[in-house]
Amino acid sequence: MPVLVAPSLLSADFAHLAHELRRLEEAGADWAHLDVMDGHFVPNLTFGPPVLRALRPHTTLFFDAHLMIERPERWIEEYRAAGADGITVHAEACVHLHRCLAQIRATGARVGVSLNPATPLSALEESLDSVDLVLLMSVNPGFGGQAFIPQTLSKVRRLREMCTARALSLDIQVDGGINVHNAPALREVGASVLVAGSAVFGAPDLRAAIAALRG
Ligand code: DX5
Ligand code: ZN
């Protein structure tokens, strides 16, 4: 199966986000990765439901909402109502992760859980059956343009083995520092969705950059 490419809007021109989304759609992106940051869970602040709601009518792209926020259970329904198709929360941000994942499921959105680089896969032992997607961070979240953490390759491989052993066909999404040089190795170890911000929006040709990540 070819990987899906989910460019991150964090690296887009924030003064023209609707235009940037249309550029992504025309360039063949599969998803739009929306990095929601609250300035508490991560040291950066981006946008919330009003921005998703404003952007929703401008594209049919799958809205892949990556909630890097504390206590995301307060916001799940708002992001779904604003137009999120997939909602991913951080295991580290949820005191009651099982309940939060069920909350996302109840909205009809695809359910995602994310782990920061230092959080072991064992944190997902009791949750893999409740999600459609696991997002493994290959940078410490908060900013685009950071260097890929190489240990992520082993983590992706081990997660794919965990899923295979349990006959789970989850999406394994990787996010942070992904480019044309490390994308082949990520595809090889079992990643199914690649997020890229600077490697896409920093490229002269969006379509060629997205195609190169897809392989
Ligand atoms: C970081 C975000 C990533 C980031 C990716 O906290 O979750 O999605 O925007 O940007 P690049 O591809 O430039 O590392
Ligand atoms: Zn992200």
Pick from 113, 65, 66: nearest CA to 92: 113
Residue 21 token pair: 């989304």
Q: Residues 6 or more apart from 131 whose CB is under 8 A from it?
A: 101, 111, 112, 113, 170
Q: Which domain holds residue 57?
A: 4-214
CATH number at residue 176: 3.20.20.70
> Which of 30, 35, 64, 171 is labelled catalytic?
35
Question: Is the CB–ligand 1 distance for residue 43 below 6 Å?
Answer: no
pLDDT in tens, the chain (215 residues): 789 999 999 999 999 999 999 999 999 999 999 999 999 999 999 999 999 999 999 999 999 999 999 999 999 999 999 999 999 999 999 999 999 999 999 999 999 999 999 999 999 999 999 999 999 999 999 999 999 999 999 999 999 999 999 999 999 999 999 999 999 999 999 999 999 999 999 999 999 999 999 99
Q: Whose CA is nearest to atom 9 of ligand 1?
A: 144
Domain count, the chain: 1
Token pair in block for residue 90 = 């951080």
User: Would you state the pLDDT for residue 1?
Assistant: 77
CA distance 30 to 86: 13
pLDDT of amino acid 116? 98
Beta carbon of 10 within 6 Å of any ligand 1 atom? yes
Any atom of ligand 1 within 6 Å of the Cβ of 67: no
Told to judge if 38 belongs to the known catalytic residues of this protein, a careful annotator would answer no
d(CA 28, CA 104): 27
